[in-house]
Amino acid sequence: MTTDPAIELEGLEVVYRVRGTDRSVLRGVTLTIGRGESFGLVGESGCGKTTTAFTIMRYLPRNGRVVSGSIRVNGEDLLAMGEGGVRRLRATTLSMVYQNPGSALNPSIRVGPQVAEAFELIGAHKGEARDRALQMLTKVQISDPARVMRRYPHQLSGGMQQRVVIAMALAKDPTLLILDEPTTGLDATVEAEVLDLVLALRQEFGTSVLFISHNLAVIAKMCERVGVLYAGTVVEEGPADQVFRDPRHPYTVGLLRCIPRRGVRKDETPLDTIPGFLPRIGALIPGCVFEPRCGLAQEICRAEEPPLYPLGDGRFSRCHFHEKAHLLPRTAPSELKTARHANGVPILELANAGKTYRQEGQEIQALRDISLEIRSGEVLGLVGESGSGKTTLARVLLGLTAPDAGSEVVLEGNPLAGRVEKRSDDQVSAIQVVFQNPDGALNRRFSVKRIIGRALTKLRGLRGSERDNRTKELAQAVRFDESLLAARPSQLSGGLKQRVAIARAFAGDPRIVLCDEPTSALDVSVQAAILNLLAELQAEEGVTYLFISHDLGVVRYISDRIAVLYLGRVMEVGSSETVFNPPHHPYTEALLSAVPTLGGEEKERIRLEGEIPSAAEPPSGCVFHTRCPRFLGDICVNEEPPLEEVESGHFMRCHIPIDELRRLQSAEHDELAKPVAGA
């Protein structure tokens, strides 16, 4: 690293003009990224991460404007440049990788010409550009790049697409590579691969990286230094390991506490949250931007904007009380409201359940031979990569999708009809759902009162004042302010919307609530509040949850038992502790190993080769054998292992004997058991 930085932002202030008034989005962002350095920018949505990236690329939307401050790239003043200079810079010096690779690639141009174009832009001839594109695709570890070059982007999986985008971004050997949530839409296993690739390429190219993510663990893994962005201000900056181990700003402290830590469970302690809301864009803040939500705030915080206090070692904190940031009061209630209702009696049972879709003459087995029980009062976590059949399973239970003939779905001893329309009213209200995306799940033309009230009318037969009273009770139960009942969903924040969706799910006094990724669309602080709410509601109402999530930390926190799905088959079922501790199924092992952790030392990762195979042509024998890190041999290829009880209450679908797995995996156990520091 030379002393000359790759990029310097100084006092950057950006406003968006909305309905005739300027509203500040960035309130003085100052940061420096050295040559070859990787800098992480974290913060919740709405803090200005993407605006920062767009400002650097000079891609601000039409109503956006830089009010003051400067951006220097290789010492050149970017903001003073004309359109030509900016274009030259974008062609040679700055690169950006976006969150959604599907829309970053032109769908009508084959991958080869599309990547080659990036080389032609910097002056390569057609043939040469093609050769270099091939080389670059090899570098981003695309297997059989020559074949991939002849394909269209939509024929590639998300992970492959993102590799192609990265290849194009690196074509010009940029000084600065901006990655804006590059793995957020990807599965944990694919994410791990892409992150490893970026790490390797950074070493090879010596590129400076600005890595934007809301995921602290990803930043911890990828970046040397980190800046924490809150309300358009960098509130803390410093070496990543130090910031995460010993945060010196209350916001950083709060963010870290929101994340479910390894080994912490819902019946031990609720999660901390960050109370309150992000200030609105354009709000006037005389003092510290975080003051309204800060448990440490004093008079001075309201009156005086804290300067960037240097803490030594290149660390800075924008907090008057940075020395006592770690003393931030816990927000989680100290007494436990959770109580266990699990009594081991199965409430919902699936036997030989399957679901086959027919598409263009092909049979796609989304679910196959699922035998599973959900016990009264428990939380059954359901994990697996996308395409493993998690959502299909939920839809079958709900009756939104009819299972194949011969499947048995039994609720409290009574068989359930395949379609919800054929179920009795009691059966319909017994199983309800909280969807992932509250924007789609709530009718945007209805008021909250109408949304909850309608469910009460249909599922409980309540009308008039009875219904209104119950609506208010439900709102209270989900900590939703009564004064907002008249609001429409568009007036509410994501967390509040999800509370409405939860209230609706509980309207009919359900026995089972399916939670399909209920917190994936939310920020971590909101996620923590929603998880607390779900745990509390369970304790009060004694409901059973089927909790679907790709976030293993969340699943581990909330679940009593866990089922692991792969290609529509249950690979492993057991209590949360059994599944998360060895011996586990090789697939579970790989899933766990793919998740980046905060503070933990980098352990040897178990790689999963390639992507989840198509359900239209599942591999022979054990469906996991094509990617299995502990592949045995012919038996795995030829014979599908049964789901067997290997220990008491622990079922697994694997040819490897349990004791052998225990021996193989014991080395990693110590790592997994370690608590995470900095929390």
Closest to another protein by CB, 326 vs 669, is: 326
Compute how many other C-beta atoms are within 10 angstroms of the C-beta atom of residue 64. 17
- In the complex with another protein, the residue whose CB is nearer, 325 or 529, is 529
| Token couple for 171 | 């074509």
Determine the 3-state secondary structure of 211 from DSSP.
strand
CB of 388 to another protein, least distance (A): 20
Q: Tell me which amino acid residue 428 is.
A: V
221 vs 293, which CB is nearer to another protein?
293
Q: Which is nearer to another protein, 429 or 538 (CB)?
A: 429
Alpha helices by DSSP H, listed for 547-607, are 552-558, 576-580, 586-594
Task: Enumerate the β-bridge partners of residue 431.
Answer: 512
Structure tokens at 207: 């590129």
The SS3 call for residue 28 is strand
Q: CB of residue 546 vs another protein: minimum separation in angstroms?
A: 14
Least separation in angstroms between CB 495 and another protein: 8
Provide the minimum distance between the beta carbon of 311 and another protein in the complex, in angstroms, as a whole number.
Answer: 24
Least distance between another protein and beta carbon 532 (Å) = 6
Closest CB to another protein among residues 141, 493: 493
| Strand, helix or coil for residue 109 | coil
Closer CB to another protein, 273 or 559, in the complex: 273
Q: How far is the CB of 434 from another protein (least distance, A)?
A: 10
**CA distance linking residue 547 with residue 558, whole number of Å:** 8
Residue 124 CA to chain centroid, in angstroms? 39
- The whole-angstrom separation of Cα 484 and Cα 491 is 9
Q: Burial level of 454, CB count in 10 A (0-12/13-18/19+)?
A: middle
Q: Least distance in Å: CB of 229 to another protein?
A: 20
Task: List b or e across 175-191, with b for residues whose CB sees 16 or more CB atoms inside 10 angstroms.
Answer: bbbbbbbbbebbbbbbb
Question: CB of 554 within 8 A of CB of 531?
Answer: yes
Quote the least distance from Cβ 677 to another protein, whole Å.
20
Residue closer to another protein, measured from CB, 313 or 421: 421
CB 678, min distance to another protein, A:
18
Q: Name which of 279 and 306 has its Cβ closer to another protein.
A: 279
CB 630 to another protein: min, Å: 38
Beta bridge partners of 210: 39, 178
The residue with tokens 């991460």 is 49
Q: How far is the CB of 466 from another protein (least distance, A)?
A: 17
Please say which residue, 179 or 289, places its beta carbon nearer to another protein: 289
Closer Cβ to another protein, 358 or 444, answer by number: 444
Length of the chain (residues):
679
Q: Which is nearer to another protein, 203 or 414 (CB)?
A: 414
Q: Which is nearer to another protein, 480 or 624 (CB)?
A: 480
Minimum distance, C-beta of residue 325 to another protein, in the bound complex (Å): 14
Nearest residue (CB) to another protein, 215 versus 391: 391
Integer Cα distance of 450 and 248 in angstroms: 45
Cβ neighbours of residue 522 closer than 8 Å, sequence gap 6 or more:
494, 495, 498, 530
- Residues 632, 624: contact at Cβ < 8 Å? no
**Residues in touch with another protein (CB under 8 A):** 19, 270-273, 275-277, 280, 292-293, 295, 329-334, 398-400, 420-421, 425, 428-429, 431-433, 435, 437, 440-445, 454-455, 458-459, 479, 481, 483-484, 487-488, 490-493, 495-496, 504, 508, 528-529, 532-533, 536
Distance in angstroms (rounded) separating the CA atoms of residues 187 and 529: 24
CA distances for 154 relative to 148, 159, 223, angstroms: 11, 12, 31
> How many angstroms separate the Cα of 435 from the Cα of each of 105, 289, 515, 549?
30, 33, 6, 11
* Shortest distance, position 254 Cβ to another protein, whole Å: 11
CA 84, chain centre distance (Å): 38
SS3 state of residue 91: helix
Among 419, 620, 326, which residue's Cα sits nearest to residue 317? 326
Here the contacts of 264-268 (C-beta below 8 Å, separation 24 or greater) are: 264/557, 265/556, 265/557, 265/558, 265/576, 266/338, 266/379, 266/531, 266/535, 266/557, 266/558, 267/336, 267/338, 267/339, 267/340, 267/535, 268/336
Q: How far is the CB of 270 from another protein (least distance, A)?
A: 7
Output 221 or 395, the one with its CB closest to another protein. 395
